[in-house]
Structure 1
Amino acid sequence: EYGIEPAAAAVAVAGPAAGGAAAAAEEKTEFDVVLTEAGANKLKVVKAVKEACGLGLKDAKDLVDGAPSTIKEGVAKAEAENLKKLIEAEGAKVELK
């Protein structure tokens, strides 16, 4: 009666929703720094985690021993990348999520 086709409306709604989701994924501003593997030299990794996160020795050791574990949550991209470089320099494997 009004010349509106329901199928065309569904396609129009689906398009922007998918585009919005892709844009949100590209604009991620907060990251979690996750220690995936401590590596061969755990002591240096524990010290790096302790200094970078302001943790006590026991807390830092527990984090490293419990890998994979989240070291810091919700940090800015620059800080997350800096922390990753610092800990990877001691032989550990780190991911940003």
Structure 2
Amino acid sequence: GDKKIQVIKVVREVTSLGLKEAKDLVDGAPSTVREALTKEEAEQVKAKLEEQGATVALK
């Protein structure tokens, strides 16, 4: 989306990825950001990403 930099910042915040890895993950969307989270954790990550304009699907 328009807010790619903000989405990359959130991805870095919720993962332990460096800047390049987070950018590659966002550029390669759709992609898995985190796995094996509780439903509450997943909803929090989803909300943070959606606030920045990302489209999120929980599986």
Task: Pick the TM interval, shorter chain.
Answer: over 0.9
State the alpha-carbon separation in 2 of the partners of residues 56 and 86 from structure 1: 18
Give me the TM-score of the superposition, normalised by structure 2: 0.94
Work out which of the two has the higher radius of gyration on C-alpha atoms and give 1 or 2.
Answer: 1
Q: Which runs of 5+ in 1 are unaligned?
A: 1-38
Residues 16-95 of structure 1 mapped to structure 2, 5 A cutoff: 39-95=1-57
**Identity %, equivalent residues:** 56
State the alpha-carbon separation in 2 of the partners of residues 54 and 84 from structure 1: 17
- TM-aligned CA deviation for residue 41 of structure 1: 1.1
Number of equivalences? 59
What secondary structure, in the 3-state scheme, does the structure 2 residue paired with 1:74 have?
Answer: coil
RMSD, aligned CA? 0.7
What secondary structure, in the 3-state scheme, does the structure 1 residue paired with 2:56 have?
Answer: strand
- TM-aligned CA deviation for residue 55 of structure 1: 1.1
Q: Which runs of 5+ in 2 are unaligned?
A: none
Give me the TM-score of the superposition, normalised by structure 1: 0.59
State the alpha-carbon separation in 2 of the partners of residues 40 and 54 from structure 1: 24
State the alpha-carbon separation in 1 of the partners of residues 47 and 14 from structure 2: 11
What secondary structure, in the 3-state scheme, does the structure 1 residue paired with 2:36 have?
Answer: strand
